[in-house]
Structure 1
Amino acid sequence: MALSREDREKFLAEPLVAALAVDAGEDGRAPLTVPIWYQYEPGGDIWVMTARDSRKAKAIEAAGRFTLMVDRIEPTVRYVSVEGPVVESVPATREQLVEISARYLDPAKVDAYVDFAWKEHGEQMVIRMRPQRWISSDLGEA
């Protein structure tokens, strides 16, 4: 059964790891699909953070859009897939790294992770996507 707009947005706002898919424009290859942390508040845009020179960033820049899909299996089998255009790509700030890290990590581990990632992961960028097309379902208890 498809989710209501409110339910799908609330579900997408949960701290789930997404699968990001983008057409990388490479002949003979399927779309690039990778796990990624993301940030979303109902009614807003979605943002992800990635290395400026990554294959993922280059593919998103070329395609101008991407898809995120999140799912779970308990307490019911549920998923949300959302696709849309890139509306902004900007250099990431340390504050954004703290925000997204705090969404996924134990609070006691955030500072150490941010210090490490800010120093070791190279220049990062934030890519914002405006949700345009949604697919969602709750299949109930499996």
Structure 2
Amino acid sequence: MPLTETERQRFLAEPHMAALAIDAEPGRGPLTVPIWYAYEPGGDVEFLTVGTSRKATLLAKAGRLSLLVQRDTPTYRYVSVEGPVIGSEPTTEEFMTRLAARYMPPEAVPGYVENSDLASLVTYRMHPERWLSADLGTI
């Protein structure tokens, strides 16, 4: 059963690992990789990557992406969003700290941020245009 708008936005705002998919070169399937991301209901999806990565190159070319998050324990649930990249900028220490805090224990965040190469990272923003979602109940 599809989730309501409130349910899907709330679910996407939880700290799930996401699968990011970007169109690739002709003759290849989309690049699909796991990422950490940030999202607040009603806002844009934010994530980061190394600015010279294949992911960054494909994002610049495609200008769009899909993101899938899921829960694989009862009740099985997923949310998929697709939309345009609406911005990119150098990653700040504030964003890196906020993102790391979503996924790491509090005591690990300062060291992780301190040992990150912020100068090589780019933060991207995607505006969700299309949503797919479901809660399949207990399996």
- Calculate the TM-score normalised by the size of structure 2: 0.97
Q: CA deviation at 1:74?
A: 2.1
1:126 matches 2:104: no
Q: What amino acid is aligned across from residue 7 of structure 2 in structure 1? A: D
Q: Which runs of 5+ in 2 are unaligned?
A: none
- Cα distance in structure 2, aligned partners of 1:63 and 1:141: 37
Q: Matched residue pairs, number?
A: 139
The residue number in structure 2 matching 1:40 is 39
1:138 matches 2:116: no
The residue number in structure 1 matching 2:19 is 19
- Cα distance in structure 2, aligned partners of 1:62 and 1:33: 15
Checking the alignment, whether the CA contact within 8 Å between 1:94 and 1:118 is kept in structure 2 is no
The residue number in structure 2 matching 1:95 is 94
1:114 aligned counterpart, secondary structure? helix
Q: CA deviation at 1:73?
A: 1.7
Deviation string, structure 1 residues 75-94 (Cα, Å, up to 9, x no partner): 30000000001110111111
- Cα distance in structure 2, aligned partners of 1:55 and 1:22: 10
The residue number in structure 2 matching 1:114 is 113
Deviation string, structure 1 residues 18-58 (Cα, Å, up to 9, x no partner): 0000002x132100000000000000001111000010011
The residue number in structure 2 matching 1:65 is 64
- Cα distance in structure 2, aligned partners of 1:135 and 1:64: 20
Q: Which runs of 5+ in 1 are unaligned?
A: none
Q: What amino acid is aligned across from residue 114 of structure 1 in structure 2? A: V
- Cα distance in structure 1, aligned partners of 2:127 and 2:31: 20
1:75 matches 2:70: no
Checking the alignment, whether the CA contact within 8 Å between 1:80 and 1:135 is kept in structure 2 is yes
1:19 aligned counterpart, secondary structure? strand
Runs of at least 4 residues off by over 6 Å: none
- Cα distance in structure 2, aligned partners of 1:75 and 1:27: 38
* Identical-pair percentage: 53
- Cα distance in structure 2, aligned partners of 1:108 and 1:97: 15
- Calculate the TM-score normalised by the size of structure 1: 0.95
